[in-house]
Chain A
């Protein structure tokens, strides 16, 4: 058959697309279960991390999550409540736009919503090495035990990029070279602090 004839070209294109896409969907089929499991696990871990709950491994994270955490939906907020003996914590799943795409994560409060317990991310598409550094420990640690005051959290850009760890101060040190991502993130977090205060009835 003439390799440059119209019929051959169309047939060939159709066949080769079909074959490659078939293999791809097969590969997708065998990995999808694992990928989904990874996703659930990363959500669970983010919730636990934000509440500062320590777990040894993936299995333990699952167990703690299924035994001690209750889920409820209140006015469009996904709220997870943790209670074990005297320990309690409330976490809310937040989502909003970052610089490049949406940032989702978990933000945890004590039960009176008077203090943040911490923050952790589920997914973000910020520039790796710049905005993506919001995932780094030093940055997230800044939210730990921040007392919630009348004033929203504010971004500080005049420090050396090492973090501000003063729970009474409402400043958060920006990621160096990523003040936009940091600003967007802080806006998301502030808006969720406001929403949670409203919904959970503590003002």
Chain B
């Protein structure tokens, strides 16, 4: 019974209700951090962990939260985890914290976290909410990684800072700049949504 529920949440968050290409949330960071795969991976793990833990916490205390201050409390809990993540990076992986700079703190404003808190954690038990957070994070991660892979390969000729393209390869400057993420995300949505829409059509 439960396993089925967990699997359904996973497939929804990864595909049919993906936070990035279906709900179009978290686009700001999709544009900002995807020109380098390592930054993207760290950013996405930050989002995944913060979403999971904030979902868990919000769900655990949801019966105590007065409706009027519901959102303030959600933001408080989300920022709590994001700040912990930031402190952790600063203390233990300073190189990474240096590279990502202000972006880590900006996870607080990532719409996916607030969206999952409000849409899922408010109405579901803690463990299920935790899982929803993890799977939403993964859904976000693989879309961003696909975009980052393309951008880093064409923009710098490298993957994970390892040179893959021959020396004669001329880097595409546009891939390093934020607008290219728009194009790539558009192409990604176009490719992925085709089959999804067809499936939806058949059901009717």
Contacts and interface: CB of A to CB of B under 8 A. Distances in A.
B partners with A: yes
Interface of A: 3-4, 8-9, 12-13, 16-17, 20, 23-24, 27-28, 31, 34-35, 38, 42, 100-101, 123-130, 132, 135, 160-161, 176-177
Contacts of A100: 102
A8 to B, nearest CB: 6
A46 to B, nearest CB: 11
Given A12-B69, A13-B73, A27 B177 contact: no
A174 B39 CA distance: 22
Interface of B: 32-33, 35-36, 39, 61, 64-69, 72-73, 76-77, 80, 83-84, 87-88, 90-92, 94, 98-103, 170-171, 173, 176-177
Given A4-B67, A9-B66, A12-B65, A35 B87 contact: yes
26 contacts: A3-B66, A4-B67, A13-B69, A13-B72, A16-B73, A20-B76, A20-B80, A23-B80, A24-B80, A31-B90, A35-B87, A38-B90, A38-B91, A42-B94, A123-B98, A125-B101, A128-B32, A128-B33, A128-B36, A128-B39, A129-B36, A130-B176, A161-B171, A176-B173, A177-B176, A177-B177
A31 B69 contact: no
A35 B97 CA distance: 11
Nearest to B80: A20
Contact of B87 (A28, A125, A130, A177): A28
Given A20-B77, A27-B84, A4 B177 contact: no
B92 A130 contact: no
A183 to B, nearest CB: 17
B66 A8 contact: yes
Of B65, B87, B173, the most chain A CB neighbours within 10 A belong to B87
Contacts of B92: 34
A165 B171 CA distance: 20
Contacts of B32: 127-128
Nearest to A2: B66
B171 A176 contact: yes
Contact of A38 (B77, B80, B94, B170): B94
Contacts of B83: 24
A66 to B, nearest CB: 21
B171 A31 contact: no
A177 B179 CA distance: 12
Contacts of B171: 161, 176
Contact of A34 (B36, B80, B91): B91
A4 B68 contact: yes
B33 A129 contact: yes
Contacts of B176: 129-130, 176-177
B100 A128 contact: yes
A22 B73 CA distance: 15
Contacts of B99: 128, 132, 135
B196 to A, nearest CB: 30
Given A35-B94, A38-B91, A128-B101, 7 more contacts: A9-B68, A12-B64, A23-B80, A24-B80, A34-B92, A124-B101, A135-B98
B103 A128 contact: yes
